[in-house]
Structure 1
């Protein structure tokens, strides 16, 4: 079978690789030199590794000129990525390059009536990589044998099994750590007390009594074991749909976080997925939502509001003016936090993969200087709705909603930084620290570093022990 290439896992079997590939044995190494006044020669300084260039001849066959244009259009869409892609060549088995096409196929020719050929030039990162390797880690040293010709940059994922005040990975010489261990004269405190946790397993403890939304309450919510869903929207000419409420222990400082997703393949579909917060006197403290309010167009926006509804945009810190996307899919998180007079609103998409990192995020703030919205949180309400009978999305779901009471840490106390079910990520490739996909670099220990895994045996351990963390390391063997 003729050899071809893949870009981000996609292959074109009609495209085949020809002989004549040009690739230097290793990327260019440029040494900086430092001259000393009054002295001959120069001192050798830092070595900079440049990008690697690959010239790969390709060919394909066509039936006629019309078919040729179809294949060229397909080739352009396949090759011309705006971001770096993972590139694999069948003639370099087991290795992955990171890069993209540069220049054009300037030598494109028609050597025979049905044969077309030319040379594609790729500009790639300095090194190529083998398949990703995963190894389990524990608080006992685990030996990892790293192959390749260059040190590897690992990603560590630590699943939290019990509340922790710190998380650390070490190779015996270097370490990465967030938080801090407990000193013998300090007390461990929980600055986040769980008030509500719902994953859509049952709504028996929720009630539709007393619910109130921006529109009409109608229909019924359901569950499917993976989240809160829609059983029925009910009916109405404007915004309408079901709502349910749950009472929590009163909290002055609090955080409410909802993970949700929606797919709207029909451009006419309208939807909103929301949570509302009420105080002990049923005053609205605020709400957050993801919604599509447009017909004949797939376009969603996020909303974050303090207080009750006074008119579109009046008391909104996030809305379609600053978070508006042309897309039919949202999978992400909405978070509402109040500490003292400060309100913090956060929305982000959640990616997939090892780290499920947050992206396309927005944070906004509000200072309640007049103390108008200082009632204690008492009720959390969820709502899903649609507008009239224009159309509905096919997958609206609240995956989870949680509420926490917040408290301050005192000088002689050490707080928990992560809880059961959380995941800590140390990404040494991109120099990032995440908790549940969100940046946590502010917790990094001063002496910690994004260390590499040198070739050969590496002894790695995670702390704390006592079955508080379940760790894994992911890395790709690196080659010049």
Structure 2
């Protein structure tokens, strides 16, 4: 049975023939040099492949074929690549998309035509990942075996067992290096220390706030043991914004900072309204800035994100956005972050999936050229809000709150190396997509320019993790021409 996008081909479709190439298209790369015979050979380049199905649609009467053809179109059409599995090799799949014309020639109750699928990679791959784990204690190579027919591109997760200034994945001919390698003439120094961390396993150490932007403080917070919510979902009385709000002091005041909070924000009805906000305060409770997610649209689930330097009355909003389009932040479970380093403000918003990867993302910077918004960060204020008598967003919670002092600019590069990876961090080197992540967040600024993403050749491959300070988990799809 042929399967596409995880669904069997409809029972009314008869496949009469499958046409495919033994190999994908292969281009020879040569270059003519004036004054010399022939051309220089630069090898070959493997292109795409196609799979064609000659089909018949069997109707129950003369008028049924066009109805079934319309139904078949629903099975066939996807904008993104989908797995195509053929009867002959049920253990392999082709990541494919329907292309070309899909003309059907109808005779009585039989419709005949050809379906053409494009396979951009040109190869077949295993249905599931091959996985490998190890915990090296030395920089001796360990072996990873690729039983496929051609190179595979591994995704490597490195869970740090110790703090380190760098981490590198090394193969026989390539390497990927993040950070700076050790140097006996320079000292490793910790950077960006945490000055506040709260996982909200309990609700303690907070003072009730007296005001919130454009509203009143009502109700209280409660901890579920893992997150902070509006107690009893009771937002009390108020004709504008209303809800719980509380303030917590940092261990010390800081000038360059990064404030990150993990939140959940999800409606189950279009008319639900709500917001989650985090205010930055100085020692006098004056607002230095704010980061927030809110939904004020009654016609749909359209959360928007905000970041502001300064206070409610006269601040500068440098982010007020729905993202790429309205609705992309719907069902938000993820990260809100705001930072200031010198005069440069930045904000980062990202959905975070179950594996910790950052998916839908938005990043903005703004430079305070007139030094309008200064002052030291001394406290943070959190708030969950509903509006007037409108039904509140069903799910609103805070799950984690961290404040870091940004100190990397104070590192003397001639005598010091910053420790950028901490125990427990997960560093991901995705050699398939050529991206690097730290705790699910892209970190290309750590990538050494001489790095070259690796592949696993057919057979045994020796790999090294240097320094040997991480548990290693590798996954890849075996592939065949």
TM-score, normalization by structure 1: 0.90
Partner of 1:385: 385
Q: Deviations over 1:307-353 (max 9, x none)?
A: 11127xx6210014876522532233221111122211222333455
Q: 5 Å matches for 1:335-350?
A: 335-350=337-352
Partner of 1:364: 365
Partner of 1:18: 15
Partner of 1:148: 148
1:123 to partner: Cα distance: 0.8
Which deviates more from structure 2 when the two are superposed, residues 270-279 or residues 160-169? 160-169
Q: 5 Å matches for 1:154-165?
A: 154-165=154-165
Q: How many residues align?
A: 469
Distance 1:463 1:85 in 2: 37
Distance 2:353 2:189 in 1: 32
Partner of 2:51: 54
Partner of 1:247: 249
TM-score, normalization by structure 2: 0.90
Provide closer, same or farther for how the CA distance between residues 71 and 290 of structure 1 changes in structure 2, counting only shifts above 3 A. farther
Q: 1:299 aligns with which of 272, 285, 302?
A: 302
Provide closer, same or farther for how the CA distance between residues 418 and 213 of structure 1 changes in structure 2, counting only shifts above 3 A. farther
Distance 1:13 1:349 in 2: 36
Distance 1:17 1:210 in 2: 71
Give ranges in structure 2 of 5+ residues lacking alignment.
Answer: none
1:365 to partner: Cα distance: 1.5
Q: Deviations over 1:100-146 (max 9, x none)?
A: 1101321x244563x55532111112112112111113325332111
Partner of 2:434: 431
Task: Report the 3-state secondary structure (helix = DSSP H, G, I; strand = E; otherwise coil) of the residue aligned with 2:193.
Answer: strand
Task: Kindly indicate whether the alpha-carbon contact (under 8 Å) linking 2:62 and 2:108 is maintained by their aligned counterparts in 1.
Answer: no
Distance 2:14 2:162 in 1: 53
1:258 to partner: Cα distance: 1.5
Which deviates more from structure 2 when the two are superposed, residues 263-272 or residues 225-234? 225-234
Distance 1:235 1:109 in 2: 67
Which deviates more from structure 2 when the two are superposed, residues 157-166 or residues 402-411? 157-166
Task: Kindly indicate whether the alpha-carbon contact (under 8 Å) linking 1:17 and 1:56 is maintained by their aligned counterparts in 2.
Answer: no
Partner of 1:134: 131
Partner of 1:473: 474
Task: Kindly indicate whether the alpha-carbon contact (under 8 Å) linking 1:15 and 1:58 is maintained by their aligned counterparts in 2.
Answer: no
Distance 1:59 1:143 in 2: 49
Partner of 2:118: 123
Which deviates more from structure 2 when the two are superposed, residues 219-228 or residues 97-106? 219-228
Task: Report the 3-state secondary structure (helix = DSSP H, G, I; strand = E; otherwise coil) of the residue aligned with 1:21.
Answer: strand
Q: 5 Å matches for 1:70-85?
A: 71-85=68-82
Which deviates more from structure 2 when the two are superposed, residues 161-170 or residues 149-158? 161-170
Which deviates more from structure 2 when the two are superposed, residues 61-70 or residues 439-448? 61-70
Which deviates more from structure 2 when the two are superposed, residues 276-285 or residues 69-78? 69-78
Q: 1:271 aligns with which of 265, 270, 274?
A: 274
Q: What value does the CA root-mean-square deviation take over the aligned residues?
A: 2.5
Please say if 1:203 is aligned against 2:200.
Answer: no
Q: 5 Å matches for 1:222-241?
A: 222-231=222-231, 232=233, 233-241=235-243
Task: Kindly indicate whether the alpha-carbon contact (under 8 Å) linking 1:220 and 1:234 is maintained by their aligned counterparts in 2.
Answer: no
Provide closer, same or farther for how the CA distance between residues 68 and 349 of structure 1 changes in structure 2, counting only shifts above 3 A. farther
Partner of 1:5: 3
Partner of 1:398: 398
Provide closer, same or farther for how the CA distance between residues 463 and 43 of structure 1 changes in structure 2, counting only shifts above 3 A. closer
1:61 to partner: Cα distance: 4.9
Q: 2:262 aligns with which of 259, 277, 291?
A: 259
Distance 2:285 2:325 in 1: 30
Partner of 1:287: 290
Please say if 1:463 is aligned against 2:443.
Answer: no
Please say if 1:315 is aligned against 2:316.
Answer: yes
Task: Report the 3-state secondary structure (helix = DSSP H, G, I; strand = E; otherwise coil) of the residue aligned with 2:156.
Answer: strand
Distance 1:51 1:122 in 2: 11
Distance 2:199 2:12 in 1: 47
Q: Deviations over 1:171-224 (max 9, x none)?
A: 354321101233223222121111122223111222324453431211222233
